[in-house]
Amino acid sequence: MPGSRTGILLIHGFTGTPKEMRWMGEYLNRELGFTCLGVRLAGHATRPKDMVRSRWTDWTASVEDGYNLLRGAVDNIYLVGLSMGGALSLLMSTRLNVKGIVTISAPYAMPDEHPAWQIQLYSYFKTYLPKTKGEPGAGWFDKDAFKGHISYPLNPIRSAAELKILLDKMHTALPKVTVPALLIHSRDDAYVVPKNMEKIYAGLVNAPDKTKLYVTGSGHVVTRDAARHQVFEAARDFIRRVENQS
């Protein structure tokens, strides 16, 4: 496959950075010989207040920008997304011409099912919320990897409202997904619990090829945590299989 005109667009998660996907992109490039691009979503990897100003449509536009940039070098593109990046992959696969998608730790719904307008209203009184109730890094199995992890330390509440809208759009899009999909989730993910994957899987009623994989021994950011190599290998094998079928 080296030299193939196939590309992989890697999409990071909510409050995260492209670094979350770097190891995975390097692995897939090395194993498959495909061009890999990690996109930076609008409002991320700068300052938290930049994210507060961003809307869900800015995040979809970031994916589209990355897709168009990658399209200049390749003919076929796969979307690979972590967490919110997985939700974006599902949604954007119905708007862009892609060959397949891989979602990792993707949410189907938020833990508290408040409508977006209520979250927006609350954001006028409080700007940020802690990500978890425990100590930072408590959900990580690879503590050394956590030390090098970069993300905003708090969740912007206004951005949570945008995430809620994005997930609602994803729900509508799920029956429209018509490309092969691999869904990956850690059973030890306490941030986006595993039942989210089951709901996404059930919604993919028209995907011609859908597979779900559970891993253990990793928290939410599986692409950086202890089970990452299992995730990388599963994505490699899935993409290779879809490529060989075409």
**pLDDT at residue 3 is higher than 50:** no
The lowest-confidence range among 9-23, 100-114, 203-217 is 100-114
Q: In terms of Cα–Cα distance, which of 144, 170, 133 is closest to 56?
A: 170
Please give the biggest Cα pair distance in the chain. 54
Tokens 């190891």, located at residue: 23
**According to the model, what pLDDT value does residue 1 have?**
45
**According to the model, what pLDDT value does residue 63 have?**
98
pLDDT tens profile 68-126: 999 999 999 999 999 999 999 999 999 999 999 999 999 999 888 788 888 888 888 88
The model's pTM: 0.95
Averaged pLDDT score across all residues of the chain:
93
> Tokens for 54?
């961003």
What's the rounded mean pLDDT across residues 216-235? 96
Find the radius of gyration of the CA atoms of the chain.
Answer: 17
- Other CB atoms within a 10 A radius of the CB of residue 116 amount to 18
**According to the model, what pLDDT value does residue 139 have?**
87
Q: In terms of Cα–Cα distance, which of 191, 128, 126, 116 is closest to 156?
A: 128
The lowest-confidence range among 57-66, 110-119, 164-173 is 110-119
Contacts of 173 (CB under 8 A, 6+ apart): 90, 91, 93, 94
> Tokens for 173?
């899009």
Q: In terms of Cα–Cα distance, which of 86, 35, 46, 42 is closest to 204?
A: 86
Classify the phi-psi angles of 104: left when phi > 0, otherwise alpha if psi is within -120 to 50, otherwise beta: beta
**According to the model, what pLDDT value does residue 130 have?**
82
> Tokens for 86?
């997985």
Q: In terms of Cα–Cα distance, which of 92, 90, 76, 89 is closest to 239?
A: 76
